[in-house]
């Protein structure tokens, strides 16, 4: 029906009921959708989860609405897309792969550090750094009292005063990549997420969306570690999402070890690896 926050607003507006009794608080646990209505209409059972890939351009906020009126991803998404929720966030100036899903539980599984889904980024930064400094990030780092977990970072190439660095992490704290690189004395001028789990940005054009095949999504979900159960949450978000095109199709292998991932490659024109 809507996102968790929107459902909370609907409850405040007394639009949701169970067997005719208006729900008074979001802290309401239900065992099934039987008897649940919104504006007097029965709520249908959730459809199978869907996942989409979206190549988010820089300059869009990963939110549904912005009080300041700035453009959001929903201004750019196709109008015929089902209701979708973003998996994690990319900040205003970060571009690249943003997964979108119709299923709140899948969103949660993909986002939680406990499930260990790796995210890969490519950063163009200004300044001096060595491969040895980047390799120390594999042990994690604490910055201003905030602990960042293991990051597999590799220098790809240097062009003058700029360097391209590939980083893979599993936590995804707010602005994690930028803060870690800034701590090393670098200034990030471009940040691109190229991969989320087995789903790759590949050659998906900026602003484009495509859907992950249902078979690939089912195979991937079987590889996920179990997420800890929710405690006292009664929301049931239902939003649509997507995923990769050709590359992720077929069996999805587990993420490689940091050692196996170390390699050196040069970015193609535009900064994307083909």
DSSP E strand stretches across 57-186: 85-86, 95-101, 119-126, 141-143, 146-148, 152-159, 162-169
**Would residue 203 show up in a list of annotated catalytic residues for this protein?**
no
Q: How far is CA 206 from the centre of its chain?
A: 16
The single residue of 66, 75, 80, 91 carrying the catalytic annotation is 91
Residue with tokens 């966030």: 89
Q: What is the largest CA-CA distance in the chain?
A: 68
Instruction: Provide the pairing of β-strand 36-38 with 41-42.
Output: antiparallel
Residue in 95, 55, 97, 96 with CA at minimum distance from that of residue 76: 55
DSSP β-bridge partners for residue 22: 17
The rounded distance, in Å, linking the Cα atoms of 107 and 111 is: 6
**Active site residue ranges:** 91
């Amino acid at each position: 029906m809507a996102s968790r926050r929107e459902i909370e607003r609907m409850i405040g507006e007394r639009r949701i009921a169970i067997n005719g009794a208006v729900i008074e608080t979001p802290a309401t646990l239900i065992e099934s959708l039987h008897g649940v209505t919104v504006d007097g209409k029965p709520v249908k059972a959730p459809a199978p989860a869907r996942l989409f890939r979206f190549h988010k351009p820089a300059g869009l906020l990963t939110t549904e609405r912005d009080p300041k009126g700035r453009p959001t991803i929903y201004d750019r998404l196709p109008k015929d897309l089902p209701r979708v929720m973003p998996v994690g966030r990319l900040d205003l100036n970060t571009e690249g792969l943003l997964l979108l899903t119709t299923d709140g539980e899948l969103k949660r599984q993909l986002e939680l550090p406990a499930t260990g889904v790796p995210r890969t980024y490519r950063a163009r930064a200004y300044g001096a750094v060595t491969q040895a400094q980047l390799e120390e990030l594999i042990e994690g780092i604490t910055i201003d009292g905030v602990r960042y977990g293991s990051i597999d970072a590799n220098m790809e190439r240097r062009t003058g005063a700029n360097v391209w660095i590939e980083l893979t992490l599993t936590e995804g704290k707010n602005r994690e990549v930028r803060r870690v690189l800034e701590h090393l004395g670098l200034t990030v001028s471009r940040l691109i997420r190229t991969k989320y789990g087995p789903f790759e940005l590949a050659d998906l054009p900026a602003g484009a969306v495509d859907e992950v095949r249902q078979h690939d999504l089912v195979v991937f979900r079987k590889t996920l570690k179990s997420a800890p159960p929710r405690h006292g949450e009664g929301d049931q978000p239902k939003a649509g999402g997507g995923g990769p095109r050709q590359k992720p199709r077929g069996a999805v292998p587990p993420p490689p070890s940091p050692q196996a991932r170390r390699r050196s490659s040069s970015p193609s024109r535009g900064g994307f690896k083909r």
